[in-house]
């Protein structure tokens, strides 16, 4: 499949220029997780464009001035494994509202310490909130957390990190009454799954809100006529393969587990969640995942709103360098949502 970014007139010209020569991510269909891991070992480049992980332009775009940045080690349950949190807080007296953030990468790859994600965390924190970015176990390529594992490892790590943040709120200088969970793409999957896990555990009081961008929720897409999976196939990626489902948990897909694949959530699963904001991108194969979940939340009586950002591709908000004003605007919106509690 050719790269459709360069030729699609809907897409912001700056994005077209940035990705004009990048091939779309075409993940193959695979027979087993073992085959998938073999293929992943042959091509371990995590980025569409290696320049996306050069720290210098991200440090210039989102400097650390006025921020204190540290790494905290957390023991995750029930496995007892170690994970890291990148903690970014404005310099000052404390009592900050806190965004607990889960990075994208299809639950398969990436790290919150990658320059693009670190820059995004700084951009949010610069608006007067603390940001705790969890580096959970990926399903295919390791983050800073040792090892790889499919569902529920990443979700367990995200929930454990959130509980640690609450337990250490006083030392961290955050207001435990104003903690919102957030994430993009695979991180949005984990964000919504974390909320539903908290509901099942009777612990929804740990979060004041949920903010997700371009969520990756369904696990499989047939490319039906009129769907975003078909309309936007080849714009950065093509979602129509079983690669992600096999990587994270094909058994969970077959059993329709909403904690692995939130597209299977029922009204009962989401009823009672705190306020939710969903951002989706016009030219994203996964656009319908977010829109459909928004409609589910409305039916369940959850306070929610959804915004479609025109002219953008998957995860434009977090890229930073592509459309800076969109990134800054979304960072401000997330920080304000968090501050409002």
Q: What is the mean pLDDT of each run of 10 residues along the chain (341 residues)?
A: 83 92 79 92 49 82 97 97 97 94 96 96 98 98 94 98 98 97 98 98 98 96 86 89 94 97 98 98 97 98 98 97 97 98 83
What is the spatial distance between Cα 301 and Cα 85, in angstroms, rounded to a whole number? 33
Whether the CB-CB separation of 103 and 184 falls below 8 Å is answered with yes
Identify the CA nearest to 159 among candidates 187, 132, 190. Answer: 190
Q: Are 13 and 321 in contact (CB under 8 A)?
A: no
Task: Classify residue 264 by its DSSP letter.
Answer: G
Q: Could you please report the per-residue DSSP string of 42-53? A: H-----SSGGGG
Lay out the sheet containing 82-90: strands in order across.
Answer: 67-75, 82-90, 130-135, 96-102, 174-184, 209-213, 276-281, 304-309
Cα–Cα nearest to 247, from 76, 48, 44, 39: 39
Catalogue the active-site residues.
Answer: 185, 284, 314
Angle at 25 between CA 224 and CA 158, to 5 degrees: 90
- The count of other CB atoms within 10 Å of the CB of residue 323 is 21
Instruction: Spell out the domain ranges in the chain.
Output: 5-23+33-40+49-340
Q: Which CATH architecture has domain 5-23+33-40+49-340?
A: 3-Layer(aba) Sandwich (3.40)
The predicted structure's pLDDT at residue 24: 66
């Amino acid at each position: 499949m050719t790269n459709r970014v360069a030729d699609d007139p809907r897409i912001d010209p700056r994005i077209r220029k940035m990705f004009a020569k990048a091939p779309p991510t075409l993940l193959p269909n695979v027979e087993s997780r073992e085959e998938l891991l073999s293929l992943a070992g042959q091509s371990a480049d995590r980025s569409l464009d290696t320049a996306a992980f050069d720290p210098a332009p991200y440090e210039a775009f989102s400097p650390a001035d006025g921020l204190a940045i540290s790494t905290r080690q957390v023991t995750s349950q029930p496995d007892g494994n170690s994970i890291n949190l990148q903690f970014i807080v404005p310099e000052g007296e404390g009592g900050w509202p806190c965004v607990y953030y889960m990075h994208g990468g299809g639950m398969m790859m990436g790290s919150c310490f990658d320059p693009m994600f670190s820059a995004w965390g700084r951009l949010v924190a610069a608006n007067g909130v603390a940001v705790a970015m969890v580096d959970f176990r990926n399903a295919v390529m390791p983050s800073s957390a040792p090892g790889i594992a499919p569902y529920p490892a990443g979700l367990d790590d995200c929930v454990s990190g959130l509980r640690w943040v609450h337990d250490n709120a006083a030392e961290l200088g955050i207001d435990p009454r104003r903690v919102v969970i957030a994430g993009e793409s695979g991180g949005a999957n984990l964000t919504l799954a974390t909320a539903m896990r908290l509901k099942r555990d009777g612990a929804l009081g740990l979060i004041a809100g949920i903010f997700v961008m371009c969520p990756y929720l369904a696990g499989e897409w047939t490319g039906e006529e009129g769907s975003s999976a078909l309309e936007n196939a080849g714009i950065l990626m093509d979602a129509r393969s079983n690669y992600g489902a096999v990587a994270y948990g094909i058994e969970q897909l077959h059993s329709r587990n909403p904690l692995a694949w939130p597209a299977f959530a029922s009204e009962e699963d989401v009823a009672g969640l705190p306020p939710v904001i969903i951002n989706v991108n016009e030219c994203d194969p996964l656009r319908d995942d977010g829109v459909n979940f928004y409609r589910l939340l409305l039916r369940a009586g959850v306070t929610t709103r959804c915004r479609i950002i025109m002219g953008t591709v998957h995860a434009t908000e977090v890229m930073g360098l592509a459309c800076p004003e969109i990134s800054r605007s979304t960072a401000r919106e997330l920080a304000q949502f968090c501050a409002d509690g």
